[in-house]
Chain A
Amino acid sequence: MSLQIPLREKANGAGKDTKAVILVGGPSRGTRFRPLSLDVPKPLFDVAGHPIIWHCLTAIAKVPSIQEVVMIGYYDESVFRDFIRESAHEFPNLPIKYLREYQALGTAGGLYHFRDAILKGRPERIFVLNSDVCCSFPLNEMAKLFDDKDAEAVILGTRVSEDAATNFGCIVSDAHSRRVLHYVEKPESRISNLINCGVYLFSVEAIFPSIKTAIKRRSERPRLLSYPSSENLENSFMADDDEDRSKQVLRLEQDVLSDLADSKQFFVYETKDFWRQIKTAGSAVPANALYLQKAHQSGSTELAKPSANIIPPVFIHPTATVDPTAKLGPNVSVGPRVVIGAGVRVKETIVLEDSEIKHDACVLYSIIGWNSRVGAWARVEGTPTPVTSHTTSIVKNGVKVQSITILGKECGVGDEVRVQNCVCLPFKELKRDVTNEVIM
């Protein structure tokens, strides 16, 4: 196999030998993104002014050798139709298609199921991106490592705190060669604080045979225990083992990566850049902040110009109306047709389409749902979590509550009402002060 790599380079030169697969999941996943996922599929939720998967696409578009982008998931085809059409304008050299699984096959199962479509055009390598991560996607750097090492697989890794590490897939690597020596998903004990970011680059000749082996092993010797795939963090022990096995769900993380570590040329690219999961609805707020900061650092012209009342980075949709006396930022995204009144304060918040914030209100660390209304002098407030934290819940008076306050679609907060650390399901009117509650 190693002989083929120089061949490939010769044969393709600067050719387009790479595909990218974005794993978008489906409506029965992402329940922790409620209440926002009740109204919009998580991959299409806007952070920093764009759908979550748009951020993946922009990173992929910067890789010169990309042939095509394949989205795999089990949402209805219609869900991504508009997004794909719009992306075709924005990324004219990037063919995008959506392949729908009719049942959840797992991350590896889905890849394998659509192997013919993926292998069409004879790509040499495929990037695989989980859509629910927020990071700078250093894909070119991963590709360079891939080439330098004659790799068969490269995984994106990042360091997290020792405490947090066991909630993720942990990578043990050789510090010098960066080779992956061992991989274990959500270990019970501390093994390494270098964790799996959910972004991979595989040689097609390595990944499909490895998945095939895993399938074969699965059918011969069913696993005794299976954890839900990248449903990391808070609820790692969902009791869906039997269901998954019967559906032949096969996951990269649990079923394939540790084999790759044992037998293949498997390397880790460690990013020092930001990385966060987008799991709970509240995690959209730190993701929004990170993507806005990235846009700000790269001098994006989309962002609002800093001024006395705009503390960068702030994204304001061109169709939104923001009173000049309102003070916004940092890390605020204001969606289409939003109206923000005089003397309003918005910080670390996502304000979604068609919502209105009336004069003198104060909105901090929150998500204001589509078409919602926040009254005059109201205060909608979440609690900041530490920058390094990978969780969006906090413990208050011994009770775990959501740190980010979230108003679902068409909610209303009365004048002068205070809402803190609450999650409010769609179509609710809040007329009295509420704290630390989920409002059904």
Chain B
Amino acid sequence: MKALILVGGFGTRLRPLTLTLPKPLVEFANKPMIVHQIEALAAAGVTDIVLAVNYRPEIMEKALAEYSEKFGVNIVMSVESEPLGTAGPLKLAEEILSKDDTPFFVLNSDVTCEFPFKQLAEFHKAHGDEGTIVVTKVEEPSKYGVVVHKPNHASRIDRFVEKPVEFVGNRINAGLYILNTSVLSRIEKNRPTSIEQETFPAIVREGQLHSFDLEGFWMDIGQPKDFLTGTCLYLSSLAKNSPKQLASPSESFVHGGNVMIDPSAKIGKNCRIGPNVVIGKGVVIGDGVRLQRCTLLPGSKVKDHAWVKSTIVGWNSSVGKWARLENVTVLGDDVTIGDEIYVNGGSVLPHKSIKANVEIPAIIM
């Protein structure tokens, strides 16, 4: 089977992290975001993966070669020279996607969930129609495009309602699809096309599009606030399904569970860590540190007695003694936060040294 991952542009929403690494390579729960998807696709029997990008950083090439070998899949980058929307990249990759008659997966690279590719493929095969989109239930459907089913049918889609004012349903497009190769012939070459607004409605009109209910969590992690929320959801899911990947709750410093620690990280004495904390490769945590709802990216350091909450600490950054970071603070690569400094919702660009409090949310250039 084949898959196409819509990566898109520079990931500006995830700056300052994406000033250092392309978004797919930013570690989410200690694995590059794209690896979560490649791993799940490979496990579902996918052999060919296309990354639809609109720029081609060298570092991506290297990383992809590595993943290709590790997971035994072919990975190619398909670069659009001009923006083609969400459907155009499929047409651009037509050669690979249509190399055999099996259906292909399409997914947005910003999404985290339990990726049920196997069940999705089985469901798609069972109904035999042209496409299946994964839907997730949300509490406030009025902010999204809502999927409405045919009367008396559990999965066949009748229409999409963009930002409904009245309640018509609570299932929204989760950004994961499985499509037959015939869909490619519905997309024009070299014209920016929206898969959601043009391609899908066309398939719906022929009664050929179904929905598949997603079990468990779903989150678009394309910006820091959601990245942190998505981390909480992902870690909670691991606690249920794969607790071995998390630090044992019997560890003296673990507080409230959902703590993931890379084996190479060092933890000081008398720390209180958790819930919802990810500690990356080579991270050093001092004594008496309090961490909650945060991600510490590889090579970062949190010094003694610091207090960190709702924060992403960038690669090789350092948080000073008795510093306090909170309210969606994001430190880019190699940022230094001085001792005793308070940062409230600061977005700090790489290589900055912060020596005075940041008391209201601000971007530190």
Contacts and interface: CB of A to CB of B under 8 A. Distances in A.
17 contacts: A325-B287, A327-B321, A343-B270, A343-B305, A345-B305, A345-B321, A345-B322, A360-B288, A360-B307, A362-B324, A377-B305, A379-B307, A379-B324, A379-B342, A381-B342, A418-B342, A420-B342
Interface centre among B270, B288, B304 (most CB of A within 10 A): B288
Nearest to B271: A360
Contacts of A347: 340
A418 B357 CA distance: 13
A359 interface: yes
Interface of A: 325, 327, 342-345, 347, 359-360, 362, 364, 377, 379, 381, 396-397, 416, 418, 420, 435
Contacts of A416: 290, 307
Nearest to A381: B342
Interface in B255-308: 270, 272, 287-288, 290, 304-305, 307
Given A362-B324, A418-B324, A342 B340 contact: no
A343 B286 CA distance: 11
Nearest to A344: B305
A226 B305 CA distance: 54
Contact of A342 (B270, B290, B324): B270
Interface of B: 270, 272, 287-288, 290, 304-305, 307, 321-322, 324, 340, 342, 359-360
B343 to A, nearest CB: 12
B80 to A, nearest CB: 45
A362 B287 CA distance: 14
A421 to B, nearest CB: 9
Contacts of B321: 327, 345
B342 A343 contact: no
A416 B326 CA distance: 11
A30 B360 CA distance: 34
Contacts of A342: 270, 288
Contact of B288 (A359, A418, A420): A359
Contacts of A325: 287
A339 B68 CA distance: 59
Contacts of A379: 307, 322, 324, 342
A418 B342 CA distance: 10
Instruction: Give me the 10 closest cross-chain CB pairs, A-B, nearest first.
Output: A343-B288, A362-B322, A360-B288, A345-B322, A377-B290, A360-B305, A343-B305, A377-B307, A379-B324, A364-B340
B133 to A, nearest CB: 43
Given A343-B304, A343-B305, A362 B288 contact: no
A416 B290 CA distance: 9
Nearest to A326: B305
B328 to A, nearest CB: 15
Contact of B270 (A359, A381, A420): A359
A345 B272 CA distance: 18
Contacts of A344: 305
A420 B343 CA distance: 13
A362 B342 CA distance: 11
B160 to A, nearest CB: 42
Interface centre among B288, B322, B340 (most CB of A within 10 A): B322
Contacts of A420: 342, 359
Interface centre among B304, B307, B321 (most CB of A within 10 A): B307
